[in-house]
Amino acid sequence: MSNPLLVDAQLPLFSRIKPEHVVPAIDQLLADARQTVADCLQASEYTWDNLVEPIQIAEDRLSRAWSPVGHMNSVVNNDELREAYNACLPKLSDYATEMGQNEALFKAYQALAASPAYADYDKAQRKIIENSLRDFELSGIALDAAKKQRYKEISQELSHLASKFEENLLDATNAWSKLITDESDLAGLPASALAQAKQTADSQGQQGWMISLQFPSYLAVMTYADNRALRREHYEAFATRASDQGPNAWRWDNSQIMETTLALRHEKAQLLGFINYAELSLSTKMADKAEDVVGFLERLADNSWRQARKDLADLREFAKKQGLNDLQPWDISYYAEKMRQHDYQLSQEEVKAYFPITRVLPGLFAVVEKLYGLQINEINNFDSWHPDVQFFEIYDKDNHIRGQFYIDLYARPKKRGGAWMDDCAGRFKRSDGRLQIPVAYLTCNFTPATGDEPALLTHDEVTTLFHEFGHGLHHMLTRVDHLGVSGINGVQWDAVELPSQFMENWCWEKEALALMSGHYQTGDALPDSLFDKMMAAKNFQAGMMMVRQLEFSLFDFRIHLEYDPKKGGRIYDILEQVRNQVSVVRPPKFNRFAHSFSHIFAGGYAAGYYSYKWAEVLSSDAFSLFEENGIFHRPTGEAFLYNILEQGGSEDAMTLFKNFRGREPEIDALLRHNGIAA
């Protein structure tokens, strides 16, 4: 049988991909890519068509084979696939380093940039060439042979460490569960959470109710369980995953991985002439200097801290009236929900009943249809990695296909936690006119359906779905024809969250909510009284939530900015300092939050987690134009589509934002949307 990863199909052949296919396919495609580069370098004079495009075609073929492998490793993980995936990481790292340090290739790009034809290239082509020359520098093209070899070793090791960090976290999450045989121990949990716990136990041949560290299960216990000891136990298991603490202490401990990762990042930055990794990180972002980032975060903290302290004082006072004098972290979600119900007569469970996935997903599509004139159709005959997966196509107002996407919505064992968008294929128009349609993966971890009832989403989960779909639209609606800057490619990292956070705004608009909600049993519309309560409670504890995100952002930036080889990472020392500066909730000593902070230790957010807040300023300010003109004002929607979503990384993010908004971003809308005075 032929290797499904080597079949140049429009979409991956998921059901045919086996672990034994992975290494041979990647080996062959890497060899093909190397040969392509060697062939291109034989040219006597370099052009786009004989240098950039052939290499893009070869590397795109490699990327489209690796993409389903990496995706399946995240969503249907098993030992054999994990082994094959890890076997390829050093091979891919070697190739990237080799290309980045290929002096003949570097000189070819320099010649292209200096050629008379350069002026005739479109802005996307010129941006790709500029980015490539920058990336050669960031890959160590100017280093001597010994330093180039060290750079290669560091890159390989960092790739391995990121994978191991994620594996440890996945294994630690899957390792803990608790069978409850007395239903009274779960008093307070809503019927939907009990049904899910029962379904989980049944699936494992157990009698009773099974709770786990899958996020829907964890959140239900922390929010609703009257049993304080159970909340405490569940909190500790979750907060100590992959660490030296808790019920599985040392078994999947990420401590050394984190230390080594920080040391290697620092060494890599210094090899390239930067003082620290934070500086290296900013070389491809909107923010110019480390002081700009720290100043931005501290300014937000100054605006938010008083509100956060008041939020916590109010919660403590409420808990006291309920008979609890020592509010602990495992009590916060529980009493916050009770306080929300008391102050606003708003129950999350009552809200969930109006957000069945069968209304939310079509409603999401209706929102973008109104904004951009899109039409989204479900395709039923497609190849998949799991029965839960759905597949859709997007058409624009002229009935041209713009993109395709897979949605995998529900939590399950062997699936990485969280929510994310990733690219399966990017938009790419070849010189012969053939167009590759962009394809995205949209992944969430919602509570699955139980029995005959549809999956019901919390309003937070609705917002998460809109967030990830915003990323997907950025990837799929691009009109840029050149792969290096189409969709999310080449977008400055601290602007990449703009389209995703922008989409969240419609989850709070009555006219939009009418499209995505309806009682799962009766179909009744979301009542005005419930909407009014949701709006009144919108910024409930917004100050606490703001400083929590600022804590994560400052911690991430400072451990990379202040790394000292003589002192090591000082991970929890710096985290404690940041908490002294901006936090209001102090977790217990055993809390090992950083050990599961995969955004920065296994994702692309190292010294860049601040991007969420940086981009939230952009998204809030962008949405304020819709507040002025109307939330479904088509000309404004089309202006956002044209200036932001369609442009990909073909121009600097600030230029694109100013093209849309007519000015630079202002912070006021962000503070207003969070109920915090400027």
DSSP at 651: S
Confidence band for 220, pLDDT divided at 50, 70 and 90: very high
For residue 441, give the nearest of 428, 423, 462 by alpha carbon.
423
> Counting runs of H as helices and runs of E as strands, what totals does the chain give?
26, 9
468 lies in a domain? yes
Q: Give the mean model confidence (pLDDT) for residues 99-112.
A: 98
State the pLDDT at residue 359: 98
Paired sense of beta strands 428-429 and 420-425, if any: unpaired
Alpha-carbon distance 461 to 355, whole Å?
10
| Tokens encoding 442 | 């949209």
Has residue 677 got a pLDDT over 90? no
CATH number of residue 584's parent domain:
1.10.1370.10
186 lies in a domain? yes
Portion of the chain with pLDDT greater than 70, in percent? 100
446 lies in a domain? yes
- Domain shared by 620 and 605, yes or no: no
Give the DSSP per-residue string, 77-125.
--HHHHHHHHHHHHHHHHHHHHHHT-HHHHHHHHHHHHSGGGGGS-HHH
Catalytic annotation, pick one of 53, 468, 551, 651: 468
426 lies in a domain? yes
pTM: 0.96
Q: Tokens 């210094």: give the residue.
A: 270
Helix (H) or strand (E) holding 461: helix 459-476
**What tens digit of pLDDT does each residue of 613-672 get?**
999 999 999 999 999 999 999 999 999 999 999 999 999 999 999 999 999 999 999 999
Count the Cβ atoms, other than its own, within 10 Å of residue 3.
Answer: 17
Number of alpha carbons in the 13 Å side-chain half-sphere of residue 47: 5
**What tens digit of pLDDT does each residue of 243-288 get?**
999 999 999 999 999 999 999 999 999 999 999 999 999 999 999 9
- Residue 588 sits in which domain range? 255-346+542-609
Query: Across all residues in the chain, what is the average pLDDT?
Result: 97
**What tens digit of pLDDT does each residue of 526-555 get?**
999 999 999 999 999 999 999 999 999 999
Count the Cβ atoms, other than its own, within 10 Å of residue 255.
Answer: 18
Last residue of a domain, one of 239, 263, 284: 239
Alpha-carbon distance 40 to 119, whole Å?
22
Residue 445 DSSP SS3:
strand
249 lies in a domain? no
Alpha-carbon distance 44 to 624, whole Å?
53
State the pLDDT at residue 107: 98
Alpha-carbon distance 644 to 659, whole Å?
9
375 lies in a domain? yes
Confidence band for 1, pLDDT divided at 50, 70 and 90: low
- Domain shared by 439 and 520, yes or no: yes
- Domain shared by 32 and 122, yes or no: yes
Count the Cβ atoms, other than its own, within 10 Å of residue 341.
Answer: 16
Helix (H) or strand (E) holding 230: helix 228-239
**What tens digit of pLDDT does each residue of 316-349 get?**
999 999 999 999 999 999 999 999 999 999 998 9
CATH number of residue 26's parent domain:
1.20.1050.40
- Domain shared by 467 and 329, yes or no: no
Q: Give the mean model confidence (pLDDT) for residues 203-229.
A: 97
Q: Tokens 């962000």: give the residue.
A: 670
Q: Tokens 């549809």: give the residue.
A: 454
CATH number of residue 366's parent domain:
1.10.1370.40
Report the Cα 50 to chain-centroid distance in Å.
Answer: 36
- Domain shared by 58 and 91, yes or no: yes
- Domain shared by 505 and 547, yes or no: no
- Domain shared by 89 and 183, yes or no: no
The question of whether 468 is a catalytic residue gets the answer: yes
- Domain shared by 220 and 319, yes or no: no
- Domain shared by 597 and 617, yes or no: no
Count the Cβ atoms, other than its own, within 10 Å of residue 35.
Answer: 11
**What tens digit of pLDDT does each residue of 362-386 get?**
999 999 999 999 999 999 999 999 9
Has residue 678 got a pLDDT over 90? no
Q: How many domains does the chain have?
A: 4
- Domain shared by 28 and 106, yes or no: yes
645 lies in a domain? yes
Last residue of a domain, one of 208, 239, 270: 239
Alpha-carbon distance 5 to 49, whole Å?
26
627 lies in a domain? yes
Q: Give the mean model confidence (pLDDT) for residues 564-580.
A: 97
Q: Give the mean model confidence (pLDDT) for residues 49-53.
A: 97
State the pLDDT at residue 308: 96
- Domain shared by 439 and 547, yes or no: no
Last residue of a domain, one of 555, 584, 609: 609
Instruction: Quote the crossing angle between the two packed helices 571-582 and 542-561, to the nearest 10°.
Output: 140
Q: Tokens 């995969």: give the residue.
A: 598
- Domain shared by 405 and 478, yes or no: yes
Q: Give the mean model confidence (pLDDT) for residues 96-101.
A: 98
Among the ranges given (309-313, 495-499, 673-677), the one the predictor scored with the smallest mean pLDDT: 673-677
